[in-house]
Structure 1
Amino acid sequence: MCLHDHTPAAPPAAALPRRGILAGAAALAGISVASLAAQLGTAPAAHAEDNPSSPGYPDRPASPQPMIIEGGTIVDPKTGNAVEDGVLVLEGGKVAAVGSRDETRRAVAALAGRARIVNASGRWVLPGLIDVHVHANALSDARAILQGGATSVRSGSSSFYQDVALAALPDWAAGASPRMSPAGLFISPELGDSLLADPDLAPLASLSGGVTEPSDLAYLTRVNLKRGAKVIKTRANPRAGLPEQDPRELVYNYEQLSAVVKASGNAGVLCHAYSAEGIDGAVRAGVRSIEHGVFVTEETISRMASRGTYFTPTLDAITSMARSANLVLAARGKEYTPIITAAVKAAHEAGVTVVAGTDSFGSDVTPIGTEVRLLGEAGLSPLDALRAATVNAAALLGWGERAGRLVRGSFADAVIVDSDPLNSPSALEQVSAVVAQGALVRNDL
C-alpha cells in the first residue's frame, strides 16, 4: 500500500535521448531477450510488414496461435447476461466471435486444425480483469500480476520509468506483461534518486524545498508525458503505510494539484489522498480518480458523483495494515477499515464509479480477485464488484469496449474461474486460466 518511497518552467528540450533513458528503464525492469525467452518459451518470429506502432522497424509482431475456449459460461459484465456452453474465438489478438455454439459455428470452422482448444466446461469465462493501481517495476512483477488474473493495469508510478518500458511489451511479446497505462515518475515534492532517471530532471535537483511550485509541478508533468506516461500520478497527502508519516497532513493543495491537472492535458491524473481536505482539493482540481480516499466526506462524495470522479479505495492495501507487526500501522488499519468500508458503500450508493485497484508493489502482488471480493463485502453486488474490475475500469482507462467485455473486436484477454461471479464476488479469487493478448499465460484446468 504505497509502502515504498517513490520520492526522489520551460517545456523539455526535444533533443534529449528518450531511447537511452527507456533502455535504462528496461534494464532496471529486467527486460532482456533472455528474460523474455524464459517467460514466454518459444515465440514465433516477427513478420515483415510495416508496423506503425514502432516507426522505423520494418516488421510486425507475430500473432499467437488462434484459440477457442468452449463449454464454459461466458459472462458479460456490462449487461450481466451469461451464455451457458458458450464459445469464445480468439484470433489476431482480438475476439473474433463469441456466443452460443450455433452463433460461433462459422468462426470455429474457419480455424479448423489451426486453433488451440481450451475446454472450460463447468467453469465461467470472463474478460481479462483490470487492476487500476499497481506498481510494477520488473518483468517478474508483471508476470505475478498476470497470474492473478489482471491482464490490464494502470500504473501508480515507478521510480525510473520501468512502467513505460513494460507498457511496450504486449504489442511485441504477447503474454509477457499486462496491457499497461504507465504513469512514469510520481509527481511528489521529494523525487530522491528518481532525479537520476532523466537529464531533463536535473533542474529540479537544486530546489531546496522540493517540487512544490506550480510551474515546477507542470514541468515535471510534461517531462513524464514526453517520456511516454499515459496517466499522471500525484498526491495530496503522505503515505499511510509508513508509520513515521501522517497521512492526514497536506502535501499538495488545490492550487498545486490544479497545476498538475492542467499540465496533464487529456492524460488524466490519479491522486493519492487520505484527508478530507486533500481529497476535496483534488476533486475540485479535476483529478480523474481518487486513490485510497479514507476520510472522504459526504459533500465530496456528492461532488465526485456530479463531476464523474472515479474512486479507487484499494481496500486490501488499507485493511491489511490491521495485521501489521508495526503497532502504528496496525492501529491505523483497525481505525481505517470501518471508515473506508463505509466510504465505499456511500460513494457507490451516491453514484460514484468505484474501480478495483490493489496497490500491489513489486512482486508482492495481491490478486485482483481479492480486491473484488472486498468490494463485495463493502456493499457492492457481485455484478457491481465485477464491473469495478472490468467495464468501469476500462472506462477509466479510456479503452471503451476493447477491454472489460468479450465482444467482437475486443482484446483477446480472458480469465476462467471455477465458480459463478454473478453469485459471489469471491469467485474471482478462484482463477483456473488466464489469457493475455491471445496467449495462455496460466492454465490450471
Structure 2
Amino acid sequence: MCVEPSEPPSSRLTRRGVLAASAALAGTAAALTAASPAQAIPTAGRRPARTADLVVEGGTLLDPATGDVTEDAVVVIRDGRVRAAGPRSRTGVPAGVPRLDAHGRWVLPGLIDAHIHLNTAAEARDAVAKGATSARSGSTNFYQDIAVRELARRSPGLAPRLRAAGVFVTPDLGDTLLADPELTSLAALKDGVRSADALRHVVRTNLTRGADVIKTRVNERAGLPDQDPLAQVYSHAQLSEVVAAARRGGKGVLCHSYSEKGCHDAVTAGVRSLEHGVFVGERTLHEMRRRGTWFTPTLTAVSGLAASEDPVLAERGRTYLPILKRAVRAAHDLGVPLAAGTDSSGGTVDPVGAEVELMHAAGLSPLDALRTATTGAARLLGLEGTAGRLTPGHAGDLILLDGDPLADLSLLSAPARVVRAGVPL
C-alpha cells in the first residue's frame, strides 16, 4: 500500500486537529456510510491510505501535457500509482489484476479544482464524484479543510487530495475567532486583523495547524450585495506582511482580488496566485508574467452571480463575466499561467469541468482549457509528479468520459466513472 507523498502532521496538529475533524465530519455519517467497508475511516492510529491495483483497458487515452491521443490504451495501476500507460501493443497487462473496461470511452487524469471550499465530508465526496480528484482549498471557517485533507490521505475515495488553506486572513474573523484558542486574543482588537502583529499571528496559527497555503484578501466580496468588491481592505504593506509571514513558513499565498489597484498591490506584494481578478489590468498581467504569478479567475463563481435572485448580485454577474473573460484571454495571450477553480462553497459543489468550458469560452483552445484543470493546476499546487497526467509515477486518479472532451468539453462535467488511487468509485 502507498500513502500520500506528503509529510504527516505534527503531534501538536494531531491533538488539536480533533476539533477540526469534528467540525468537518459532524452530521455527515451518511456520506461515510455510502463508502464501501474497505473505504471506511480507520478507527485508530495513522494507517496507510486505501489504494489498489487496477488495469483500465480499451479506452482512448488523452495526455493533457502533450495532447497525444492513444487508442485501445492500457493504464496499469499498482498500489494506487500508475506503473505503465500506453497502447495495448506496447503495454504489458499483468495477470490477476482487477480490470475496468473502458472501451468506447476516453480516459483522462482526474481533474484539479484550484479554488474550492470544502466544509463537510459530503462536499468532499461530491467533489470527487464530479471528477475533482485533487484540489486546493480557498479556506474554511474552522479548519475543516485540514480535516478533509487527512480524510483524503486515509480514505482517498472520500475526498480529493487537498492543499489546505486553513482560515482566511481577513480583517473581520467573526466566529472564526473560535476556530483555535490562539485566535481569541484578536477579539480585543478594535480595528480587527490589520496590524502587522495581528496579520503575522493569524498566519502563524494557520501554519501551526498545518496549512499548506495561506489565503488572504485585498478587496471586499462580490457575493454579498452590501459589500463593494472594488473596495480595498488591505494595503500593499499589509499584504506584504502576510506574504513574508507565509514565506517564513515555506508557504505561498492566494489572494482574493477584484480591483486593478488591489490586483496590482497583491501581485507586487508577492502572492503566489491571484483569485477572481475581474478588473486586473495590462500592467498587472505583465507583472504576473514576469513574476510567474498564477491567475485563478473562478469564472464559474462570477457566472453564477448572474443567476442570483438578488438584483445587485445579478447585475454584477452580468457586468463582470465578460470583463473577466477578456482578462483571462489577455492573460493567456501574455503567457500568464492559468488554473481552473470553481470557488464552490455553501454546500454546492460545482463541477470543475464547467470551469474548463468557461476557460474555452474565454478564448482558450480546448486543450489549453483542459490544461488549466490538469497539468497547469498541478504545477500551481506543487503536484507535478502526482496529478494532472497518467504517466508512470503519477497517482492512479482518472476519469472516464463518454466521448472526446476536445470536441465537447461539457463531457468533463459529468464523468462516466471516476477512479481514485486505483479504486473505481
Deviations 1:91-145 (A, max 9, x none): 111111111113221xx22xx22x2211111111001100000000110010111
The change in CA–CA distance for 1:45 and 1:330 in structure 2 (over 3 A counts) is: closer
User: Cα distance, 1:37 vs. partner?
Assistant: 4.9
Tell me the distance in 2 between the aligned counterparts of 1:62 and 1:77.
27
2:113 is paired with a residue whose SS is strand
Tell me the distance in 1 between the aligned counterparts of 2:412 and 2:11.
45
1:406 is paired with a residue whose SS is coil
Which residue is 2:116 aligned to? Answer: 134
2:332 is paired with a residue whose SS is helix
Corresponding residue to 1:39 among 34, 39, 47: 34
- Tell me whether 1:188 sits opposite 2:170 in the alignment: yes
Deviations 1:259-295 (A, max 9, x none): 1111111310000000011000000001011100000
Tell me the distance in 1 between the aligned counterparts of 2:89 and 2:49.
30
> Would you say how many aligned residue pairs link Structure 1 and Structure 2?
413
User: Cα distance, 1:253 vs. partner?
Assistant: 1.2
Corresponding residue to 2:191 among 194, 206, 209: 209
Preserved CA contact (<8 Å) 2:57 2:99: yes
188-197 vs 61-70, greater mean Cα deviation: 61-70
The change in CA–CA distance for 1:270 and 1:127 in structure 2 (over 3 A counts) is: same
Residue identity matched to 1:116: P
Corresponding residue to 2:329 among 333, 345, 351: 345
Which residue is 1:239 aligned to? Answer: 221
1:283-362 alignment, distance < 5 Å:
283-362=267-346
Which residue is 2:64 aligned to? Answer: 77
Deviations 1:359-406 (A, max 9, x none): 001431110110000100110000000100000000000111211010
The change in CA–CA distance for 1:361 and 1:223 in structure 2 (over 3 A counts) is: same
User: Cα distance, 1:415 vs. partner?
Assistant: 0.7
User: Cα distance, 1:153 vs. partner?
Assistant: 0.5
Which residue is 2:231 aligned to? Answer: 249
1:88-103 alignment, distance < 5 Å:
88-103=75-90
Tell me the distance in 2 between the aligned counterparts of 1:355 and 1:267.
18
- Tell me whether 1:382 sits opposite 2:369 in the alignment: no
Preserved CA contact (<8 Å) 2:117 2:345: yes
Corresponding residue to 1:408 among 380, 392, 395: 392
Instruction: Give the superposed CA RMSD.
Output: 2.0
The change in CA–CA distance for 1:440 and 1:32 in structure 2 (over 3 A counts) is: farther
Identify unmatched segments of 5+ residues in structure 1.
Answer: 1-14, 48-55
1:346 is paired with a residue whose SS is helix
2:88 is paired with a residue whose SS is coil
Identify unmatched segments of 5+ residues in structure 2.
Answer: 1-9
TM-score of the superposition, structure 1-length normalised? 0.89
User: Cα distance, 1:19 vs. partner?
Assistant: 3.5
TM-score of the superposition, structure 2-length normalised? 0.93
User: Cα distance, 1:411 vs. partner?
Assistant: 0.7
283-292 vs 15-24, greater mean Cα deviation: 15-24
Which residue is 1:436 aligned to? Answer: 420
Tell me the distance in 2 between the aligned counterparts of 1:64 and 1:17.
27
User: Cα distance, 1:33 vs. partner?
Assistant: 10
User: Cα distance, 1:412 vs. partner?
Assistant: 1.1
User: Cα distance, 1:236 vs. partner?
Assistant: 0.4
Identity in percent:
49
User: Cα distance, 1:423 vs. partner?
Assistant: 2.8
